[in-house]
Amino acid sequence: MTSKHLFSIIKAVPLSLFQNNAKGKKEKGKGTPMAVRRIFCLDMDCFFVSVERVLNPVLKGKPVIVGAKPDERGVVSACSYETRKFGVHSGMASSCAGRLCPHAIFLHGNGKHYTLFSREARAILETYVPVVQAASIDEFYLDMTGTERLYGPMLKSAKRIKRMIYRGTKLPCTIGIGSSKMIAKIACNLAKPDGILEVAPGDEEIFLRDLPVGEMPGIGKVMQEKLHEWGICNLGEVAEIPLPILKSAFGKHGEIMRVRARGIGSGNVNPIGGPPKSIGHESTFSVDSENPAMIESVLFRLAEKVGRRLRKKKLVARTITLKFRLSNFKTITRAHTLDQPTDHDETIFSVAQTLFRKAYGSRSRVRLVGIRATKLSINAGQLSLFGTEDELRKHNFYSGLDRIRNRYGFGAIVSGRNFKNAKTSA
């Protein structure tokens, strides 16, 4: 049996379809040994758009785009399937989306509503699932290992979870099931929208074999191009490439990619409250800027926001990544890893500033800047152990700053740097 053949069988896209052959799947589920991990990746379908449709049912079945309006600067945050056939996708400039799909209904969206719906979905999951991890506002990993005795086969559970989410929130979602987060995620992407797809234990390699290399999380554009140059198009071929060749071309990533292409995934489902992988903020200018002082003042504000969130979550970051996008949409990212992790605005900013000064060619107009903090770890009071007096002073300064901002809002304190440039840019 080819993997394509297998895939067409296990892709149980519409719920109603798999209801009919649920019995056949039951046998498979029963035979699953307890030791095999069963991870669900649950992703809400077109989340922002779906929430807007719950709040305003008139939008159902219509082309809807949440994000900036076409005559504004900014991007598409989410778009309905009705707009996707015209080539619209999230992250695209709204002006472009407006040209591709001029009849679309553009909505600004409301973050508060989305957060409420996300919390509701999570609360529902927590009543049923032993271990829930919110990977983002609309994506959850559920560790369902060992639940078969209680709940029956995995597909039955997935079906029930979908029904519970729909009853509680009126939102559609898709569930991918696999022996690792990676397999579950890929399965979920393939089953969208409103589907369920289970990759049975032991079928991982065959499931991946015919998939295009781009389906694998972590294989970005650059890697894809290189693989295509070699004539490698699908993951089965990646799994066959001799390790030394992959290693010399992609280093450590090459090794990881090969292991993953063989269906071996890692990554535990972190229970609720598990630390995030990264914290970032970005900002699109109202007018493209070629004024470095103005750009750096925005970077400072972003560094303040990143620092504040790190401190709020009691985390410190070792790697700071700067991103900026030019008016021609060329995007530049640069990262720097610190010797000591930090949650200080000043440190985050100074890294971002140094990276920006190195990478920014004069006369280029900048459209967007962003800062992301990664390699996060829990800030477990290193300060009292290793902290110098200067660090302690900074710590007190930031705690005070956070207290005031928590009480009166982020805008309650404007740093001198921002104030000055806010005036210049006004």
By C-alpha distance, which of 405, 179, 221 is closest to 301? 405
Residue 41 and residue 188 in contact, taking contact as beta carbons nearer than 8 Å = yes
139 is catalytic: yes
- The nearer residue to Mg ion, 43 or 204, going by C-beta atoms, is 43
Name the residue nearer to Mg ion (CB basis): 174 or 179.
174
C-beta of 39: minimal distance to Mg ion in Å? 17
Min CB(140)–Mg ion separation in Å: 10
Stretch of residues binding Mg ion (CB under 5 A), selected from 138-146, 336-344, 380-388, 394-402: 138-146
Least spacing, CB of residue 392 vs Mg ion, in Å: 43
**Closer residue to Mg ion (CB): 59 or 294:** 59
Angle value at C-alpha 362, between 360 and 365, nearest 5 degrees: 80
Q: Which stretch binds Mg ion (CB under 5 A): 16-24, 130-138, 266-274, 327-335?
A: 130-138
Instruction: Give the SS3 label for residue 233.
Output: coil
Catalytic residue among 126, 139, 215, 346: 139
Q: How far is the CB of 78 from Mg ion (least distance, A)?
A: 8
Residue of 144, 169, 170, 166 whose CA lies nearest to 157:
144
Q: Which long-range contacts (CB under 8 A, 24 or more apart) does 116-125 make?
A: 117/47, 117/51, 117/54, 117/169, 117/171, 118/44, 118/47, 120/168, 120/169, 121/44, 121/165, 121/168, 121/169, 121/171, 121/173, 122/272, 124/164, 124/165, 124/168, 124/169, 125/42, 125/161, 125/165
For residue 25, the Cα-to-chain-centroid distance in whole angstroms is: 31
DSSP-derived pairing of the beta strands 331-342 and 173-178 = unpaired
Binding-site size for Mg ion (CB under 5 A) equals 4
Applying CB under 5 A, the span of 132-140, 160-168, 262-270, 391-399 interacting with Mg ion comes to 132-140
Selected binder of Mg ion within 38, 39, 68, 138 (CB under 5 A): 138
Beta carbon nearer to Mg ion, 137 or 233: 137
The minimum distance between CB 128 and Mg ion, in angstroms, equals: 20
d(CA 207, CA 236) in angstroms, rounded, equals 9
Q: What distance in Å separates the CA atoms of residue 51 and residue 169, rounded to the nearest whole number?
A: 9
Q: What are phi and psi of 125, to 5 degrees?
A: -60, -40
Residue 68: CB minimum distance to Mg ion, A: 19
Identity of the residue, 138 or 345, whose beta carbon is nearer to Mg ion in the bound complex = 138
- Does 148 bind Mg ion (CB under 5 A)? Our answer is no
CA–CA separation, 356 and 33 (whole Å)? 52
| Sites for Mg ion among residues 34-73 (CB under 5 A) | 43-44, 47
- Would you give the binding string for Mg ion spanning residues 2-41, x where CB under 5 A is met? ----------------------------------------
Q: Which is nearer to Mg ion, 43 or 148 (CB)?
A: 43
The residues that are catalytic are: 139
Q: Using CB under 5 A, list all residues that contact Mg ion.
A: 43-44, 47, 138
